[in-house]
Structure 1
Amino acid sequence: MKRFYLIGFLLLMSFDTLAQLSFKLAGEHALPLSADLGWLLRVFGQPWIYGALTGYLGAFFTWISLLKHAPIGPAFAASHLEVVSVMLLSVWLLHEPLTATRIVGAVAIVAGIVCLGLAERGMHAARPAAVG
């Protein structure tokens, strides 16, 4: 089951990261922003928008599969790891600045996920065995 969680959450993070980076790139390539048909055609003329749609569809189905088995608290927290992966890839690929505030935020996200995972593990260890 641990392998299922590991693969599932890595897949979820990958799909979410693909979606976020693709939306950013599609938006940048469709500028200037305007509420008209020309802008929509520019958006849907970019291959990045299809990467975003693929990412969101993949994330949805991966998330639904994970929810069948994973405890909701840690699963919900771990599903937000893409914030960290998007930040790191944006620094590397898009040359966005890596600030102290972003680093502190990323550390807080990871620390929160670790705390929830440890709490969930402690709850399972403290539960009495089923009688029956």
Structure 2
Amino acid sequence: MKRFYILGFLSLIFFDTLAQVSFKYASIHAEPLAMDVAWLVRVFGHPWIYGAFVGYIGAFFTWMTLMKHAPIGPAFAASYLELISVTLVSVWLFNDTLTIPKVIGGLLIVAGILCLARQESPEKKGATWQPNLDESA
């Protein structure tokens, strides 16, 4: 099951990063922004917009699969690893600057994920929440 989580979250990071990078490239190639038919032709005539669609669809199905099996706390926190991956890919592809606040933010994200994952007790792993229908509100 641990391999499932690792592969699942790596897939989620991949699809999320693909979507964001594809949108960036699509916006670069669609300039100048104008709400007209010519602009729409530029946007949908470039393959990067389809990479964004693939990224979002892939991320959606990966996320839904993970939510079916993963503990919600660490899973939700781990979804923020996308911020780190997009930042690093943006430094590489778009010459963005890696600043000290970005590095600190990334480290805090990783620390938060590790804290939440560590807090999950072994007996809670695999358990699903069931509403107590016998309680009166």
Question: TM-score when scaled to structure 1?
Answer: 0.89
* 2-structure distance, mates of 1:35, 1:119: 49
1: distance between equivalents of 2:44 and 2:102? 31
- 1:94 aligns with 94
What does 1:10-49 align with in structure 2 at a 5 Å threshold? 10-49=10-49
TM-superposed CA distance for 1:124, in Å, is 3.7
Note the 1:1-132 alignment, pairs <5 A.
1-121=1-121, 124=124
- For residues 71-120 of structure 1, the C-alpha deviation after alignment (integer angstroms, 9 at most, x for no partner) is 11111111111110010011011111111111111111111111111112
- The amino acid that maps onto 1:119 is Q
Q: Which runs of 5+ in 2 are unaligned?
A: 126-137
Give, in whole Å, the separation in 1 of the partners of 2:69 and 2:122: 18
Q: Which has the higher helix share?
A: 1
Q: In structure 2, the residue corresponding to 1:113 is in which secondary structure?
A: helix
Which letter maps to 1:46?
A: H
- Following TM superposition, by how much is the alpha carbon of 1:123 offset from its aligned partner in structure 2, in angstroms? 7.2
CA RMSD of aligned residues (A): 1.5
Q: Percent identity?
A: 62
TM-score, with length taken from structure 2: 0.86
Distance 1:123 1:77, change over 3 A: farther
Gaps of 5+ in 1: 126-132
Name segments (4+ residues, structure 1) moved above 2 Å.
Answer: 121-125
